Amino acid sequence: MAYKSGFISVIGKPNVGKSTLLNALTGEKIAIMSNKPQTTRNTIRAVITSDEYQLVLIDTPGIHRPKTKLGEYMVNVASETIKEVDLIFFLAEATTSPESLDISIIEQLKKVKTPVLLILNKVDIVEKEKLLALIARYNELMDFKAIIPVSALKKDGLDIILEEVLKYIPEGEKFFPEDTLTDQPEKIIAAEMIREKLLLNLDDEVPHGVGVEVTSFKERKDGLINIQATIYCEKSSHKGIIIGKQGVMLKKIGAAARFEIERLLDTKVFLELWVKIKPDWRNNDNMLKELGYKR
């Protein structure tokens, strides 16, 4: 059989398990995991390489109603992306009937010719009868190429996904070398890891106004990597919360981020964090470019 390669866009409302699925499929922690919505702003590509195929998975940020320029940008990226890929994974909750956001995503998906696999995630917490009724309901909404119930968390049903995928991925050469987990620059992975730790450690009102920029990423002669990063927030009260009493919070975030980055890059890391206030940075085009959200 000829070698196959292609791009897959992963779409679904926040918290359906997109990152968990990407991680389960790749076996490495590249996409960002958090129980807070919209952690994944960047289009992170995970690459699965085997003897028969290479799949490039794009963790497409959820299609939602934009409120800020960043939101608008995310919607644009998502709708452009789904036209260009070979296949779309549409993830939905197996635990609830389709909600308005699912329906509006389906409306977007109907507009493109790209084949769509519906992946009903979290079957580990659903009764069988309910699942069958849900499958029937989704069948009425759209003509999916397949409806696949899975548990990304328990790694259940992943083999069926891969089996289906190969029907829609064209013959072609590898896009990336064998050992590639992601084609994102390490700088962006580091920034994502820092942002993940921020989101995990801070109150809800702060994280959405937070951006991370890695300003310096240098490998020293002894192999240690020196990373300097700036955390941008919108208000001085936020800056205070992020730094914490006597810097305790920032130290905690930095230590947790460093641990993840060291694990990913498989080397010792020296991480320096700064916190800066940039009011309304989410509506600033240049700032979005600087932070890698816009080209």
Q: By CB neighbour count within 10 A (0-12 exposed, 13-18 middle, 19+ buried), where does 89 fall?
A: buried
SS3 of 137, please? helix
Size of site (CB under 5 A) for K ion:
2
Told to check if 40 binds Mg ion by CB under 5 A, we report yes
Told to check if 230 binds K ion by CB under 5 A, we report no
Closest-CA residue to 229 (of 184, 191, 282): 191
Q: How far apart are CA 247 and CA 90, in angstroms?
A: 42
The site for ligand GDP (CB under 6 A) is made up of 12, 14-20, 33-35, 40, 121-122, 124-125, 151-153
Told to check if 121 binds Mg ion by CB under 5 A, we report no
Q: Give the nearer residue to ligand GDP in terms of CB position, either 119 or 264.
A: 119
For the CB of residue 34, give the shortest distance to K ion in the complex, in Å: 5
Q: Give the nearer residue to ligand GDP in terms of CB position, either 123 or 275.
A: 123
Told to check if 26 binds Mg ion by CB under 5 A, we report no
For the CB of residue 13, give the shortest distance to Mg ion in the complex, in Å: 11
Closest-CA residue to 198 (of 257, 280, 282): 257
Under 8 Å between Cβ of 184 and 214:
no
For the CB of residue 212, give the shortest distance to ligand GDP in the complex, in Å: 18
Number of H helices, E strands in the chain: 9, 9
SS3 of 31, please? coil
Q: Give the nearer residue to ligand GDP in terms of CB position, either 9 or 151.
A: 151
In the list Mg ion, K ion, ligand GDP, none, the entry touching 211 (Cβ below 5 to 8 angstroms by class) is none
Sheet holding 87-93, edge to edge: 45-49, 53-59, 4-11, 87-93, 116-121, 146-149
Only segment of 1-9, 15-23, 80-88, 194-202 that touches Mg ion (CB under 5 A) = 15-23
In the list Mg ion, K ion, ligand GDP, none, the entry touching 201 (Cβ below 5 to 8 angstroms by class) is none
Q: Give the nearer residue to Mg ion in terms of CB position, either 10 or 273.
A: 10
Scan residues 12-41 and list those touching K ion (CB under 5 A). 34, 39
Q: How far apart are CA 283 and CA 73, in angstroms?
A: 10
Q: Which residues bind K ion (CB under 5 A)?
A: 34, 39
